[in-house]
Amino acid sequence: MIHPNWNDFYMVLAAFLAGSLLGLEREYHSKPAGFRTMILITVGSALFTMLSVGMSTSGDRIASNIVTGVGFIGGGVIFKEGLNARGITSASAIWLAAAIGMAIGFQHFELAFIVTILALLVLIFLTRIEKRVHRWNEEKFYKVSFVRDVDAKESIEGFCTRKHIAFERVKLLKDNSGITVIYKIEAGHSRHRQLEAFLVESKEVLGFEV
């Protein structure tokens, strides 16, 4: 007859609750790694850690394998939207969820609790601050296609200079249809909107992508 180890049960339950809290926040904001994913990551990390305790195999090796596995999962939620990367925060949340699960597996309950609360504070409240900062200054990449006989500097670069928008020409490509330039633009939210409106109305611009 198998006798339950209630301490192990409590650790799995704690990992489940921590993953639920992180997952609810991610699910509420419709992020790639949501409710179920976060629970599975924290519980799985805790279980691997619990099984490694007392084994002859080095615990460091188990921990490194957990981190490696989580790295593959995190890489799957990072994607490109236009010329900008998305999903980095979700990947970081996955990485942190695994760390919380490992802390619970090693019975560092207080540490896991504190880190979970701090993670929620960062994901919920600092997001608002981050959005406000982005309204002041945000870096975006613009891929702009011009007609072949137009000097790009006389269009978008001239506009940026007049509006005091910081820009950098990252790449310039030429083909039979025209010229394509990739710019790195640093400006506030309103300046980005003005630039996009300018590109839409400009006759020299064939098209653009942000």
Domain identity same for 155 and 110: no
Domain identity same for 15 and 117: yes
In DSSP terms, 79 is beta-bridged to 86
Domain identity same for 12 and 112: yes
Tally of structural domains, the chain: 2
The least confident of 5-9, 13-17, 109-113, 117-121 is: 5-9
Q: Which residue has the tokens 């799995």?
A: 12
In a domain, 189, yes or no: yes
Domain identity same for 152 and 110: no
188: three-class secondary structure by DSSP: coil
Domain identity same for 110 and 184: no
In tens, the pLDDT along 113-158 reads 999 999 999 998 887 787 777 677 788 888 888 876 666 667 788 8
Contact 19, 42 (CB under 8 A): yes
Note the pLDDT of residue 82. 63
Domain residues for 25?
6-124
- Mean pLDDT, range 19-29, rounded to an integer: 91
In a domain, 103, yes or no: yes
In tens, the pLDDT along 63-90 reads 778 888 888 887 778 776 666 677 888 8
Q: What CATH number did the domain enclosing 168 receive?
A: 3.30.70.260
In tens, the pLDDT along 161-194 reads 888 888 888 888 887 777 888 888 888 888 889 9
Note the pLDDT of residue 2. 47
In a domain, 115, yes or no: yes
In a domain, 154, yes or no: yes
In tens, the pLDDT along 33-67 reads 889 999 999 999 999 888 887 665 666 677 778 88
In a domain, 118, yes or no: yes
Note the pLDDT of residue 158. 85
Note the pLDDT of residue 56. 59
Residue 171: how many other CB atoms lie within 10 Å: 11
The least confident of 8-17, 23-32, 175-184 is: 175-184
H/E segment holding residue 145:
strand 138-146
- CA 166 from chain centre, in angstroms, equals 25
55: three-class secondary structure by DSSP: coil
In a domain, 169, yes or no: yes
Note the pLDDT of residue 130. 76
Domain identity same for 87 and 178: no
Return the higher-pLDDT residue of 85 and 23: 23
Domain identity same for 96 and 159: no
Greatest CA separation for the chain: 84
